[in-house]
Amino acid sequence: MRILYDAGRTVAGSSDSRLGDVHVVLLTHVHADHLGDVRLDQDPDDPKSSCGGNLRTASAVPHSNTAEIAAFKNSR
């Protein structure tokens, strides 16, 4: 079983190749940096991308990083 804990701003949305299967999404509290009010705007598999990556604006609830990943991955 894979659990994603506070996806926040460090994941490039549901298509982020690092995620794989996600069975459960855990959100500790609804602060923007834990919920994912913005997403990485880069390819995490591209070696030329930096960890600091650019952030792109995303709507908050219900279109947060956390909600998108949970819906796309059919997670609990």
Strand pairing of 55-57 and 38-40?
antiparallel
**Mean pLDDT, residues 15-30 taken together:** 91
pLDDT surpassing 80 at residue 14: yes
* Domain positions in the chain: 1-76
Residue 71 phi, psi dihedral angles, 5° rounding: -70, -45
pLDDT of residue 59: 47
64 residue type, one letter: S
Give the pLDDT confidence of 26-50 residue by residue, as tens digits: 999 988 888 887 776 666 666 665 5
pLDDT surpassing 70 at residue 56: no
